[in-house]
Amino acid sequence: MALSTLLATLLCTVVLPALLFLVAVKLWEVYMSRGRDPSCASPLPPGSMGLPFFGETLQLILQRRKFLRMKRHKYGSIYRTHLFGNPTVRVTGGDNVRQILLGEHKLVAVQWPASVRAILGSDTLSNVHGARHKSKKKAIMRAFSREALELYVPLIQEEVGAAVAEWLAADSGVLVYPQMKRLMFRVAMRILLGFPPEQIGADERQLVEAFEEMTKNLFSLPIDVPFSGLYRGLKARNFIHSKIEENIKKKIRDSQKESKRGDALQQLIDSSRKNGETLSMQAIKESATELLFGGHETTASTATSLIMFLGLNPEVVKKVRQELIDKEERGMQLGSLNIESLEQLKYTGCVIKETLRMNPPVPGGFRVALKTFELNGYQIPKGWNVIYSICDTHDVADIFPNKDDFQPERFMSKASADSWRFQYIPFGGGSRTCVGKEFAKVLLKIFLVEVVTKCHCTLLNGPPMMKTGPTVYPVDNLPTKFTRYVRN
């Protein structure tokens, strides 16, 4: 009697729930496979849809690049999955990515996950379409023109120089990634939003922590309940909005007085005023938050990767220093750089390109299929999300031999540049190419010059494990000892 009771208990508490779970998963797979468009003869891409509702979002959040590589090795360059509440096709490889990036407004349209749209806002450059996107992009591009960048160079050099001096004074070393986020945050606040240094200093720590919390939860399940990732991200976003609203109001008053301030946010405000558009405080706050995210999170990631690669490749550091010595002997003033002198630093620029190849800060871009279309023998059903992968596309590109080796020289040949299109896409491509890419290049070049001319970098933990959330970062924050470099 006792044995039969035990078996019944086991059946009810373990076996039956497990069977029901397996049946639910199978029914979920069958249900999702019905998303195939019968008007298209091509099959759905291979893949799996994961758990009901959750899909494979949890595996992606926990494993990130390991998960993506496993899926690519198992299913190939195009596969289906279910992420952030939507059936999704992930696309890898230059030829496949080309069709996605050039298919904007015809095959696909940009559509970030619901959590990203909720946190950053629906009226941001990354989420608007058509004429609205063109208008906003044009306004921001004025703030990243060559003339505008020329004005930014001294300010960037000032901020980077001050940060390097602090790192050299730290006897026990510094955690590079948090320091990069702090540095790039200050640069973004001053250049992109026009905040004076004294205003940044008062709330700097709280704002940096809030941005970290917001970005950490950008890609989360679209469930706004207490303690969920989306809830925490929205709470951090609201704090950021409250801190920048006062400055925005001042900008609006200044714009009515024909202000000549040239930061990116001011350009947006002036453009709205000239076009006779109603200025929405919420829309401007969302634009400011997006500019800060794009202007400091991605550059902080890349600057951290630069320090890592400098520490792991001392021969590269020597070559950068030699290029700078050669330029100094020809009259270049490294203490007062300008756009023209930065453009002459070819090898230095190649070090940045190689860093972006191996560790692109953003792993991919999000689109939604406007209609059912075929891609490399598979159908992409209308309404499904499409993710083009930057990191995987770099990984599989045949044009990069010895792709696991850090070799800046591979970018020295101009003849190869055209063949790299869509196989080397750290800034995306097509009409949605990152509007701030020239700003990022200038900022990173100045950063690299300041570091190699003043510092030796010693990685205290050796090569770190890298994760993505949402940009690439070292798990151990890259503890590094900076010691003063003195040229012989």
In the prediction, which pLDDT does 137 show?
82
Asked if residues 390 and 363 have their Cβ atoms less than 8 Å apart, the reply is: yes
Residues in the chain: 488
**Residue labelled with tokens 């059946």:** 11
Would you call 1 exposed, middle or buried from its count of C-beta atoms within 10 A (0-12, 13-18, 19+)?
A: exposed
- pTM (two decimals): 0.85
What is residue 24's predicted lDDT score, i.e. its pLDDT? 52
Residue 467: strand pairing partners: 473
pLDDT tens, position by position, 342-368: 999 999 999 999 999 999 998 899 999
Low-confidence spans in the chain with pLDDT less than 70? 1-34, 201-202, 254-262, 277-279, 414-419
Point out which residues pair with 373 in neighbouring strands.
380
pLDDT of residue 278: 65
- Grouping H, G, I as helix, E, B as strand and the rest as coil, residue 174 is strand
Token pair belonging to 295: 């202007």
Query: Which amino acid appears at position 148 of this protein?
Result: A
Please report where in the chains the tokens 């770190």 appear, as a residue. 464
* Residue 406 · residue 356 · CB < 8 Å: no
Q: Are strands 373-375 and 378-380 parallel, antiparallel or unpaired?
A: antiparallel
Q: Which residue has the tokens 């570091």?
A: 451
Q: Tell me the angle at which helices 146-169 and 437-454 cross, rounded to the nearest 10 degrees.
A: 30
- Please, are residues 485 and 164 in contact by the beta-carbon 8 Å criterion? no
Write down the pLDDT at residue 42.
92
Tokens representing 449?
């010059």
Contact 280, 123 (CB under 8 A): yes
At 165 the pLDDT is: 97
What pLDDT digit, counting tens, does each position of 138-172 carry? 878 888 889 889 989 999 999 999 999 999 999 88
Closest to 440 (Cα-Cα) out of 267, 286, 297, 268: 297
Report the DSSP pairing between strands 378-380 and 466-468.
unpaired
- Domains assigned to the chain: 35-484 (1.10.630.10)
* Cis upstream peptide for 196 (omega within 30°): no
CA distances from 455 to 63, 164, 167, 408, 478 (A): 34, 8, 9, 20, 16
The pLDDT assigned to 294 comes to 79
With contact defined as beta carbons under 8 Å apart, do 113 and 88 qualify? no
Burial class (CB in 10 A: 0-12, 13-18, 19+), 456: middle
Structure tokens at 216: 């950490």
> Rounded distance, CA 473 to CA 466, Å?
6
Is 232 within 8 Å of 213 (Cβ atoms)?
Answer: yes
